[in-house]
Amino acid sequence: MGRFWAIFFSLAAVVTVGFTAIGAEYWWFPGDGHAHTTLGKKIDDLFYLILIIVAVTYIGTHIVLGYVLWRGAEIRKDEKVWFSHGSHALEVIWTIVPSGILLFIALYQMDVWRNYRVKAYFPKKTAAVAEVTARQFEWRIRYPARGKTLQPRPQPDDIYTVNDIRVPAGQPVSISLRSDDVQHAIFVPELRVKQDAVPGLVIPVWFEVTETGTYDMVCAELCGWGHYKMKARVIATSEEDFEAWKINAAKEQFYDGVPATPDAVAAKADEK
Amino acid sequence: MSTVTPDVGHPGAGGHDHDSHGHHGHGHAEPSPLSLLWQLPTFSCDHKVIGMQFLITTLMMLMVGGALALGVRWQLAFPWERMPILGDTVFKGDGGQIAPETYTMLVTMHASVMIFLVIIPILAGAFGNFLIPLQIGADDMAFPLLNALSYWFMWPAIACFGASFFFGGGPAGGWTSYPLLSAIQQAAPGSGFAQTLWLIGLTLIGVSSMMGSVNYMTTIINMRAPGMTLFRMPLTIWSMFITAILQAFALPVLTAAGFMLVADRTLGTCFFIPSGIVVNNAAPTIGGGQPLLWQHLFWFYSHPAVYIMLLPAMGMVSDMLACMSRKPIFGYKPMVYSLAAIAGLGFIVWGHHMFTSGMNPALGMTFMVSTILIALPSAVKTFNWLGTMWGGRIQFNAVMLNCIAFVSMFIVGGLSGIFMAAVPVDIYIHDTYFIVAHFHYVLFGATLFGCFGAIQFWFPKMFGRMMNDKLGQLHFALTFIAFNCTFFPMHLLGVAGFPRRYADPYHFPYLEHLLPLNQFMTCAAIVMGFSQFLLLANFFGSMFFGKRCGRNPWNANGLEWTTPSPPGHGNFDIPPVCYHGPYEYSSPLCHDTDFLPQTEYVPLSQRQAVAQAGH
């Protein structure tokens, strides 16, 4: 029976590793599997680095576990067990080696984190494109008028959208994240962007989308019964398309039906 | 007197000493096997009865928490479909469906019940109470009445949690209860009186834990038997001691935070509420507070609490592994130091729950380094467990299987923690199912498997009968397989960006393809949930029908095995004197056996000779 259990535990490890290897074909990072921001690519690199270290450790420890169990099952009745209270040398080795690896992991991550969150290390030419305000259960986005910069307070010529965050791709952009009521969090999986929106705080988030496209955005902090339905999108377009959208959006938003000139009145009458 | 060891029962001699050696020098009659059970409904101050009360209460709560979890899993596999069994009664108003606010309630209460009414009390309350006096050779706790109160304060807490279901559908702010969702009554259906009740219940649990931890510390420091030096204590006792210290220093912070949040909700203080916020058309807040303050205070307790939920299981598993491998624990002192290191570091890592919260990014760097370093003592412990089993005569019984599972699952849970400790990677996997996988591997995979092992290991001491080993192995195999089928795929869900606490994630295009995997996981979860009835059947059935056993059915070394099974009031019929550490299995000092009870006298010269032989 002992041998059965030794195989049982080894098999569990084999199955989990195999499941990950095969399952990664079907259930892995969303979209095409690659990050679509500059920092996101670095995050992915770090993820795979840790994955390799972790996989080696997991497989190694479970080979040892399987071997130990098999030996423990094989031991004969008259055979003496290994009477030992431990080994100082081994303790030193398995303290120093993991601590070296762990410290390396910790220090190696610092740069990416610093570039992601520390304002002084944001890219120099980051354009503040919008203010995103979360509320139960939607995202309200406020853009400055074309050619103007984002102001902390709403301006009369600001452009608004709900649940669609439009940004130009190919350049670092930042959004100011706020919350109107409870805590929320933006999470754009394909862009590897996540940040809580905390009532009372305005938090800048920057990213540089590398490929144009539409990316799903979800809320990642429990915000009430409708937490699951704060469906939104980040729409990354080329710089020209972004500007063109702004012109159109402004036209639409400020259209009041009042013709601007007598000629226009005449034209409108003709249409009818 | 001190050199006399009681005639302890060996396997096969079950019941022998019970009958013929019932009366030792101190006039204790051997109590009947069910003596602890009959005392359950009494206000007993006996630590064993209190331990038993905790154990049976927490086993019941485990089933409640499990049922709530199955509700969660049902919705994730078959969203909006009529819930079987409970749908037509409990959720009748919603047409048998789980409504979104009900789903968030299920998530909240599953976590709250499992953490506060199962894991914490089963470790410190049940096993801490039962084992501490027995293993250190004391006749009871230092403060028996306080001990009884620590159990009876559980009940008002259970009542508060239970009552909260009936107000606004139950608390639904998550077990972390972040403001403002939890601070403003109008924020969600469950944010009303239910949330207040939840907070009061939490505070009462805190009071219960605090009374326990004061007691454990005092008992362990003052009431050890002669010869039971600190470094002869079983690792169970070390872990309980360190856990008690953690609790005593971390809990007041949570209690204070809880009162502050109750005050915010009912008295109009604004510790956590900023100004001018309009939530769900309530009046604008007066403000001046900061929601992040709650997160800091909450995690200042709740991160150490993660170790409160793990360390005692580590200690108990160390005891069981050594006994079932018939070998001394590998590296006893490194095991103690690593326990202490985990506890010490545990106080300075709370910020890793807040990497994406918007706190000062420099803090994120500090917390990342301390968090990654806490993997080090965990690694040392794992290697020592493997070393303990190495070259041992492994007894593949249900106890050992659960302990091996503990080690194996703790490795998974520990390794997945490294992803989250690394801040940049955590940006992506924070609040996804990756974290759900991680903490279930630690709390269920490690702690609960450790508890399953411990229940079966110490059951003979509680009832003088053995639990059925075949049934135990079946329960183990089913639980282990179903557990891995339920929780391992969650790692992949997390990588796929599957968010936590979502009543219906599948209306997002990028999550649609994850439904079949979730259905598979739910089926596994149902198997896992129903497998626990095997444990209950084995536990309660063996009380009456289990094979009778003597004092020491496992041939173990600890002081608890020199007492009658179950021990009478006052525990020891012969005051124990301790001569060895608790792990002297297969020592050259043993004669025709392979164990050396802590009470067995061996002349110093012989002990020194063995020590010098370099073992």
Interface of B with A in 364-403 (CB under 8 A): 364-365, 368-369, 372-373, 375-376, 379-380, 382-384, 386-387, 389-394, 396, 401
The per-residue pLDDT for A2 is 87
Point out which residues pair with A141 in neighbouring strands.
A132, A161
Q: Is A154 exposed, middle or buried (0-12, 13-18, 19+ CB in 10 A)?
A: exposed
The per-residue pLDDT for B13 is 39
> What is the three-class DSSP state of B400?
helix
Token pair of B258 as six digits: 């809880």
The helix/strand count (H/E) of chain A reads as 5, 10
On whether any CB of chain A is under 8 Å from the CB of B184, the answer is yes
On whether any CB of chain B is under 8 Å from the CB of A61, the answer is yes
Complete domains list, chain B, with CATH:
50-309 (1.20.210.10), 334-549 (1.20.210.10)
Percent of the residues in chain A that have a pLDDT greater than 70, as a whole number:
97
Residue for token digits 């070393």?
B387
On whether any CB of chain B is under 8 Å from the CB of A19, the answer is yes
Q: What single letter denotes the amino acid at residue B404?
A: I
What are the tens digits of pLDDT across the range A160-170?
999 999 999 99
Query: What residues have CB less than 8 Å from B492, skipping those under 6 apart?
Result: A20, A23, A24, A27, A28, B517
CA distance A136 to A236: 25
Check B358 against A196: CB less than 8 A apart: yes
CA distance B210 to B203: 10
Name the residue in chain B with its Cα closest to that of A50.
B419
**B558: Cα separation from own chain's centroid:** 22
On whether any CB of chain A is under 8 Å from the CB of B485, the answer is no
Check B394 against A231: CB less than 8 A apart: no
Name the residue in chain B with its Cα closest to that of A219.
B499
The per-residue pLDDT for B96 is 80
Name the residue in chain A with its Cα closest to that of B587.
A83
Check B328 against A181: CB less than 8 A apart: no
Q: Report the complex ipTM.
A: 0.93
Which alpha helices (DSSP H) does B326-432 contain, by range?
332-346, 361-373, 375-389, 398-421, 423-429
Check B331 against A91: CB less than 8 A apart: yes
The per-residue pLDDT for B84 is 80
User: Among partner residues A8, A86, A190, which is closest to B334 by beta-carbon distance?
Assistant: A86
Interface of A with B in 29-48 (CB under 8 A): 29-31, 39-40, 42-43, 46-47
CA distance B62 to B122: 10
Check A229 against B504: CB less than 8 A apart: yes
Check B431 against A180: CB less than 8 A apart: no
Over residues A241-250, mean pLDDT: 95
Check pLDDT > 70 for residue A15.
Answer: yes
| Crossing angle of helices B235-266 and B129-136, rounded to 10° | 150
On whether any CB of chain A is under 8 Å from the CB of B231, the answer is no
> What is the three-class DSSP state of B145?
helix
Cβ contacts of B401 on chain A, cutoff 8 Å: 5
Complete domains list, chain A, with CATH:
2-74+87-119 (no CATH), 124-254 (2.60.40.420)
CA distance B499 to B514: 12
Q: How many residues does chain B have?
A: 615
HEC readout, A219-271 = ECCCCCCCHHHCCEEEEEECHHHHHHHHHHHHHHHHCCCCCCCHHHHHHHHHH
On whether any CB of chain A is under 8 Å from the CB of B516, the answer is no
Q: How many residues does chain A have?
A: 272
Strand A127-135 and strand A173-179: the pairing is: parallel
On whether any CB of chain B is under 8 Å from the CB of A213, the answer is no
pLDDT averaged over consecutive 10-residue blocks of chain B (615 residues)? 42 40 46 83 93 96 95 94 79 82 94 96 95 95 95 96 92 92 91 95 94 95 95 96 95 94 93 92 89 96 94 97 95 96 94 92 91 94 96 95 97 95 94 96 96 96 95 97 97 96 94 95 96 97 93 94 91 91 90 89 85 71
Cα of A234 to nearest chain B Cα, Å:
13
Check A199 against B499: CB less than 8 A apart: no
Interface-testing mutation among B495, B500, B519, B596, with chain A (most A C-beta atoms within 10 A): B495
On whether any CB of chain A is under 8 Å from the CB of B510, the answer is yes
Interface of B with A in 33-62 (CB under 8 A): none
